Amino acid sequence: MKKIIGVFILVIGLAFWQCSKMDTKPDLKQSIRNGVENINTAISKISQSKGYQFLSTVDQEGKALAVSTGTGSSLLSGDVESKSMEWETLADSIDLAIVAGIYDYQPSPFRPHHFYFPVSLFKKTGESEHMIVNLPQKLAFGPKYLHNYCTCDTTLKNNFTIDASDYHLYFRGWNIFDYKLSAGFRLDGEDIGSSEITSVSDMDHGATYMSKFNFTDGYHITKEFIRGDTTTSAFSLNKDNDTLLKETSKFIWLGFRNVERQYILTIGDVQIRKSSGVDSIQVFLDGVLQKKAAVKVIDEGDGEHSICHSRDLLLTFDDGTTDNLSELIAPAREALKSLWSSLGDMYFAKHIVDYIAISIFFNTH
């Protein structure tokens, strides 16, 4: 009987020990390192994708859109959650109903070079409620070839597809516009990602901007900007519904420069808060303030700061050891910098999607 009781007590003890072991959560240092490992893994996968290559497209020769619309490069720039806006009178507009259909890249040999409006690059080959455009990969990944094409190149095949399910471009002057794009992208019939952009600028309401790019393996990145009495910008890296990284900054205009009033950095379960009026930088783990942890912010130069390119954090943990965040995310930092910039600029939207929409618009109207 005593033997049976002893075995029973041992089993119960092991069960409680196992539960206690399972309930043990990582400390702050391990949580930071786990979070950074997830970021580095995500960026490693993203940076090898065709979606990343397309999103990061930059080509200084493709500038015809800025000339043709009269809105300049500021149409989508500025890192601006969109709010709806009704304008009774617009100087001009293009919406999905006007450019809907299926189009193939078939440039006319009679189109003059350096003409502002590319009126004969695409031929309508079918009907659709979307704007579906088929063009060569070379032009999508190198916009200079789209803006300055050569009819002598007959070897290109239309193996890249833009499928815009929502689109409008309304403008009535410098920095007064309402823009939206929802589009998916395919290369050789394979999905490489999708994008959502909303951008509104108005002298009475300020400016808002949101851009999101969804990669094919569940990762997506988002950049938001709201300009008003207080300016807020945010950048995030996500896996499905989980936030791997998020940076949020709030500024006010003071004198002749922006002054940062609040900075929030989230890495997995850890949140770091820097606020004006608070003596020290606060560190939270699963929402619990870590009273012994310390953080020092190290900035380079002026302007908006981000750990993606010009901000570093020196982290001091409970055991007295330290880590530089820049060293922890070093494997991902260059790609993060590229994504941070690309989401704010959305070059492919300005110089590829919009250029094509304007081409179709002027070719059919």
* Regions of the chain with pLDDT less than 50: 7-8, 11, 17, 20-22, 60-91, 114-115
C-alpha R_g of the chain: 25
Residue 358: both structure tokens together: 């304007």
User: Which token pair is 336?
Assistant: 């993060």
Cα angle 221, 175, 341; round to 5: 25
CB 101 within 8 A of CB 132: yes
Residue with tokens 């380079």: 300
Cβ–Cβ < 8 Å for 233, 224? yes
Q: Please tell me the distance from the alpha carbon of residue 324 to that of residue 317, in angstroms, as a whole number.
A: 11
- Whole-angstrom Cα distance, residue 233 to residue 193? 24
359 in a structural domain: yes
Q: How many domains does the chain have?
A: 1
Q: Is residue 309 part of a domain?
A: yes
Is 20 inside a domain boundary? no
Distance CA 341, CA 309 (A): 10
Shortest CA distance to 364 belongs to which of 70, 131, 63?
A: 131
SS3 190: strand
Pairing of strands 177-187, 190-202: antiparallel
Q: What was the pLDDT predicted at 148?
A: 75
Please report the pLDDT score of residue 187 as a whole number.
97
* Cα-based distances in Å from 152 to 107, 108, 155, 298: 11, 11, 9, 54
Residue 267 located in a structural domain: yes
| Residue 93, pLDDT score | 84
Closest to 251 in 3D by CA, of 267, 243, 240, 262: 262
CB atoms under 10 Å from CB of 242, counted, come to 10
Alpha carbon 192 to chain centroid, angstroms:
15
Q: Is residue 25 part of a domain?
A: no
> CB 68: neighbour CB atoms within 10 A?
17
Is residue 85 situated within a structural domain?
yes
Helix (H) or strand (E) holding 53: helix 50-55
Amino acid at 135: L
- Specify the residue for token string 């919406």: 95
Tell me if 131 is assigned to some domain. yes
Residue 64 and residue 146: Cα distance in Å, rounded?
10
Q: What is the pLDDT of residue 86?
A: 38
Range(s) of the domain holding residue 58: 37-364
Give the position of tokens 């075995």. 7
* Residue 24 forms part of a structural domain: no
Residue 309, both tokens: 């390119």
Spatial separation of the C-alpha atoms in residues 251 and 267, rounded to whole Å = 22
- Render 296-314 in DSSP notation, one character per residue: EEEE-SSS---TTTTEEEE
- Token match 């709201």: residue? 226
